[in-house]
Amino acid sequence: MAKILNPRGDGRDADVMDHACVGRPCLWIGENKGTYTQGRGYTRYYKKPRLVCWTRHQNGCPHPLPEFNPETTRCCPAPTFPRPRKGTRPQRQRCQTCGQWATRGIVLESRRSLPTLEHVKCKHEALHHDDGLFPDGMWRCRGCSLYWLHKPKPFECGETFKELLDRKFPSENKPLQKNDTDP
């Protein structure tokens, strides 16, 4: 039995089969509130509900176990972690890009080995805020020429101006096809 440390951010740890469960597609974190009897409901409650892998709790772990997928542990498009000092092993480290914590072990090692996504190369340091078109304004990065409706984080994916307009103001008129005739 292993634990995933603080998966919901409320201080409770989740019981799972092993540490690689954090990167498996079968993981489903749920609350075990107490003793449950089918047809009667909960017959006894815990003082504090426990977090468990609900797939394992209800049906048991699938056989064969799914492969560990490091992409499911990704915290941001370009995770960067500082190298620890020689001879030390910190319990957890904060991602320098997004600020999310990674615990020592398989999560930290898998995040450290993840590459930067192909479509994300810009840190969005040259931002321009425009109040004209949208009520809250929009942000444009002069480095990559992409747009957002909020201030972007470093390496965050954006949209072209056409994609942003198409998403915010969808057109009900379909473009003409080759076989359509103009009325």
Indicate the pTM of the whole model: 0.56
Instruction: Return the structure tokens found at 103.
Output: 């615990």
Instruction: Quickly tell me which residue has 């359509």 as its tokens.
Output: 180
Length of the chain: 183
Q: What percent of the chain has pLDDT over 70?
A: 91
Contact 152, 127 (CB under 8 A): yes
Instruction: Return the structure tokens found at 89.
Output: 């092993």
- Higher-pLDDT residue of 65 and 89 is 65
Which residues is 50 bridged to in the sheet? 32
pLDDT at 45: 92
Taking the C-alpha atoms of residue 111 and residue 119, their distance in angstroms, rounded to an integer, is 18
Q: Average model confidence (pLDDT) for the chain?
A: 80
Say yes or no to pLDDT of 30 above 60. Answer: yes
pLDDT at 125: 75
Q: Which of 106, 92, 108 is nearest to 20 (CA)?
A: 106
At residue 120 the predicted structure's pLDDT band, cuts being 50, 70 and 90, is low
Taking the C-alpha atoms of residue 6 and residue 100, their distance in angstroms, rounded to an integer, is 12
For 50, the 3-state DSSP assignment is: strand
- Higher-pLDDT residue of 114 and 52 is 52
pLDDT at 172: 66
